[in-house]
Amino acid sequence: MNLTFTPEEEAFREEVRDFVVSHYPEHLRGAKRTEYDGREDFLVWHRTLAKKGWAAPEWPVEYGGTGWTVTQRYIFNEECAKAEVPMLLPFGLKMVAPVIMAFGDDTQKKRFLPRILSGEDWWCQGYSEPGSGSDLASLKTRAIREGDHYVVNGQKTWTTLAQYADWIFCLVRTDPAAKAQEGISFLLIDMKTPGITVKPIITMDGSHEVNEVFLDNVKVPAANLIGEENKGWTYAKFLLTHERSGIAQVARSKKAIERLKHIAEAEHIDGAPLITTDAFMRKVAELEIDLAALEYTELRTLAREASGKGPGVESSILKIKGSEIQQRITELTLEAVGQFAMPYQRDLGHNEPPIGPDYAPLTGESYFNMRKTTIYGGSNEIQRNIIAKMVLGL
């Protein structure tokens, strides 16, 4: 695979770099999600890119995509990672939008896609339920057709940033008599509809990132059904391949390893920088080798998509390795920072982390938060089953 960039591609890199430096909001530079001040901080960068026409590089041009080559998309992601700007929220742009494009009708495309692209509508994902996570097909949220609408009752959980969402895309059971996967439908639900209640789940890093969503006799227009009734499992699997492909995050892991090395150069063991110790050097080297292998897998997947083929079983490989690498980076960072990464309890009034080096704050929080990466998007155990079936034929 030739990774040499042409003069035109290098010029594009400079254009991206200059735009990010000059347009990313100053008050968000270096900030973590847990430090954002409400909805607008999450959306400001999305809207800035939307005005530039860069919000959805993966979308077809007909819907507002950039028309970039695979290499340009690679360069764009790399430069955004280097500048440490946040990823745009994927629920609208990278998850429900491809489903609407592939399976929605013209009215749905005209109604929803422009508002996803501009950042006017914030979406969240209604998949997991209590007792229905990895075994998603066992979901129990029920939707009963009554004339020109559905009445939905049930509960969704681990719903990321639902407290800010305008819409939720939901898997619901429309035929309880059918086999598990065959009785599920895909509904788009306005979060302002009467009967929807959002309750926070505070995670171990102290943040309000996920929620429970309760649906009590929620009336949803039948026009918000994607595709055919009871075919939602097909659309759900299509969506998950896009979600899993996006979890790899090679460029951001590269930046995180760079930061890890900087920390290890500053920390000392018996007077020598931690980065020079054999044991730590070996761990970092193994991590970089695995990341390089993942990068080539990601590039092959991008090339496949560029040829008109959607992401396949490769998305499961990207999800497994990408999430595991992200966890290993936080583990090594925690090891390097040592006692300065000790968690602190905000709810007890301890609003500042322990005094330590500049790089210590939030290291512990990041470690705890990243424990989820091997679970969401379909747990890694499930992904291994998919690979065994689809690749190995087991």
* Shared domain check, 332 and 212: no
Of the residues 37, 61, 88, the one at which a domain ends: 88
Q: How many CB atoms lie within 10 A of CB 98?
A: 22
- Domain containing residue 305: 247-390
What length does the chain have? 394
| Burial grade of 279 (CB within 10 A; 0-12, 13-18, 19 or more) | exposed
Q: Dump pLDDT digits (tens) for 362-382.
A: 787 788 888 888 887 778 887
pLDDT at 344 over 90: no
CATH of the domain at 286: 1.20.140.10
Q: Dump pLDDT digits (tens) for 65-108.
A: 999 988 898 899 999 988 988 889 999 999 999 999 999 999 99
pLDDT of residue 18: 97
pLDDT at 347 over 60: no
H/E stretch holding 200: strand 196-202
**210 three-class SS:** strand
Residue 118 counted as domain residue: no
Q: Using 50, 70 and 90 to split pLDDT, how confident is the model at 309? A: low
Residue 99 counted as domain residue: no
* Shared domain check, 379 and 288: yes
Instruction: Quote the number of domains for the chain.
Output: 3
What does the block give as tokens for 368? 């705890």
pLDDT of residue 352: 52
H/E stretch holding 142: strand 142-146
- 363-375 burial, b for 16+ CB within 10 Å, e for fewer? bbbbbbbbebbbb
Q: Dump pLDDT digits (tens) for 285-294.
A: 999 999 999 9
Give me the chain's average pLDDT, please. 87
CATH of the domain at 224: 2.40.110.10
